[in-house]
Amino acid sequence: MTFDDAWVDEVRRGLLACKVFLWFPLYWLAYNQMTGNLTSQASTMTLGGVPNDIISNLNPIFIIITIPLMDFVIYPAIRKTGFNLTPIKKIAFGFFLSSMAMVSATVTQHYIYKLSPCGNDINAQVKAGREDCAAPFTVWVQVFPYGLIGFSEVMASITKLEYAYTKAPKNMRSTVQAIALLTSAISSALGQALVGLSEDPLLVWNYGSVSVVAALGGLGFWMTFRKADRDENMLNNLQASKFEGRRLGDEESSENEVVMVGDEKKASGL
């Protein structure tokens, strides 16, 4: 064997860390509302000359503001209180933030239906070109779902990659990323089950259902990884292995080089 016991422990720790991805399809269901339904929702409110697809830029803007604020202000302040804000706690909190984002979208959609002259048929009327259907309140109310989703990304999405990446051996980190991307694909497949709710007059149910699912995902995540949260320091203090695996082709190449060197020595009479 060319590997050591420390590498076996690292592999085990890396695979356990990858388990944090298992609940994330429920998180991405809420996140993916930004790419379609929330953009359509913006078109049914008073835009004030702003294109409805521009509003989604609130999300990356909020992330850019939030990351340094958390790193240099919020996290240090929390550490000074003595509270241990572990990655597992951050991720669970991120789930609940995404749920709150969908709650705000649910409330907004309810008032769109209630206050719009076109009622529960507003999206069809807007697509048909009717201009007097907009709900009588500003589209900037969407700062709440986009801001909360952005905050949840900082807490959940960034943290889960950092958590698994730092606990996996160096030669398993591409595997970690692949598993993370797989959960996004699973979420997209699950999202097809909600397509039937993505039309009038069911959009309130769409956002409400996603909110409940994200909250249940956060609760399930915390219940699943409470023990890992308690063992955080132990996992971080495992001995680091010096072993780095190689591909089979690399090993064969090395063996061929040894054979070629031996043949050259024989040919030269050494």
Q: Are 112 and 141 in contact (CB under 8 A)?
A: no
Model pLDDT, residue 151: 94
If one compares 35 and 62, the residue with the highest pLDDT of the two is: 62
Which CA distances in Å does 225 have to 19, 91, 238? 9, 10, 19
Peptide bond into 25 cis (omega under 30): no
Q: Are 141 and 45 in contact (CB under 8 A)?
A: yes
Model pLDDT, residue 178: 82
Please choose, from the candidates 226, 220, 217, 199, the residue with its C-alpha nearest in 3D space to the C-alpha of residue 98: 217
Q: Output the average pLDDT for the chain.
A: 82
List the CATH number of the domain containing 185: 1.20.1250.20
Question: What is the rounded CA–CA span in Å between residue 172 and residue 12?
Answer: 11
204-214 pLDDT tens trace? 999 999 999 99
Q: What is the mean pLDDT of the segment spanning 168-184?
A: 78
Q: What is the mean pLDDT of the segment spanning 133-143?
A: 92
Model pLDDT, residue 231: 65
Which residues constitute the domain of residue 212? 5-267
Please choose, from the candidates 64, 42, 61, 37, the residue with its C-alpha nearest in 3D space to the C-alpha of residue 53: 42
Q: ∠ CA 160-216-154 to the nearest 5 degrees?
A: 30
* pTM summary value: 0.81
30-59 pLDDT tens trace? 998 987 899 989 999 999 888 888 898 999
* Percent of residues, the chain, with pLDDT higher than 90: 40
- Identity (one letter) of the amino acid at 106? T
Question: What is the rounded CA–CA span in Å between residue 204 and residue 198?
Answer: 9
- Identity (one letter) of the amino acid at 22? L
Domain count for the chain = 1
Q: What is the mean pLDDT of the segment spanning 218-239?
A: 73
